[in-house]
Structure 1
């Protein structure tokens, strides 16, 4: 299971959805994969990347 239902600690009428250890592992792997896919290669050559970094810094 990636998530589990737990009782709310204050409101006994409510329940909370929490990640299990397996769910946290999936989130970690997905975050690494997303960052590699989206942020490591943004399609700019080195000069353009440096110029962009200078503009937004």
Structure 2
């Protein structure tokens, strides 16, 4: 594997024993229960997630 990075780039690599249950992924949401992802999607659309102090921009759910 080769990773090419620009200046001031940070990379985090995580590893370990695989989870025993399946993981579901949608956009920035990952969960072992699809209902958790559906709730996160609704919360995102309702703008219930805390915004960053220095970036108040909102990106619509794809």
TM-score of the aligned structures, taking structure 2 as reference length: 0.28
When you count helix as a share of all residues, which structure comes out higher?
1
Larger radius of gyration: 1
User: What is the TM-score with the length of structure 1 in the denominator?
Assistant: 0.30
Q: Which has the higher strand share?
A: 1
Structure of higher RCO (CA pairs closer than 8 Å, 6+ residues apart): 1
